[in-house]
Amino acid sequence: MKYWMAVWLVLAASVTAAPREQRPAGNFDFYVLSLSWSPTFCLTHPDNEQCSGKGYGFVLHGLWPQYAKGGWPSACDSRSPLSDAELAKGALIFPTRALLKHEWSKHGTCSGLDATRYLDATDAALASVQIPQQLQPFNVPNYLQAAEIEALFRQSNPAMGNRSVAVICKGKVLSEVRVCLSKELRFAGCPRSVKTQCRSGDIRIPVQR
């Protein structure tokens, strides 16, 4: 009896740990455009080339295919490297070449687009979001609440609506802003899986000088 109970527990654990079934590349529901607050990243990665005194504020983290019920496809074709021309194109959009390669391998290959079209879509998504003047580098207050950051993005992007943006923190420090977009790159309401993840109260906004 003990033997069969042990076998059942092992099988149950393996089922619980099984990853979500991944759909084919291009079969997803919406995009998340992730904008990283570079000074926070640089607090823990001071030697990264992104942090070499360039004075970045928000930078592109990535354009991520997502499932409406939660989760996302990942690394759909790891054998699809970027060409030299694509690397040059992506270098105009991403803060570092290493991030570009990572984002293409993990997220871009699941978009159903070739690399050039994915980079075009990423560039268009980035251009569609106006960064609030109050959150430009060297012009930010030291502290804001997450709701105030959301409101600033909505004010600067009237088409965004009330449910298209989420603020992400590390502890009580601003880390990212995530914007939900349709597959046609229009502002879309975020599902429950994409929501603000910050403690209540003021959030520190580091500034890189």
Active-site residues, by number, are: 61, 103, 107
- Long-range CB pairs of 75-81 (<8 Å, 24+ gap) are 75/105, 75/106, 75/109, 75/110, 76/22, 76/24, 76/25, 76/109, 76/110, 77/25, 77/109, 78/105, 78/109, 80/104, 80/105, 80/109, 80/115
Q: What DSSP state is assigned to residue 161?
A: -
Contact 66, 192 (CB under 8 A): no
Other CB atoms within 10 Å distance of the CB of residue 96: 14
Task: Give me 50's structure tokens.
Answer: 């992104």
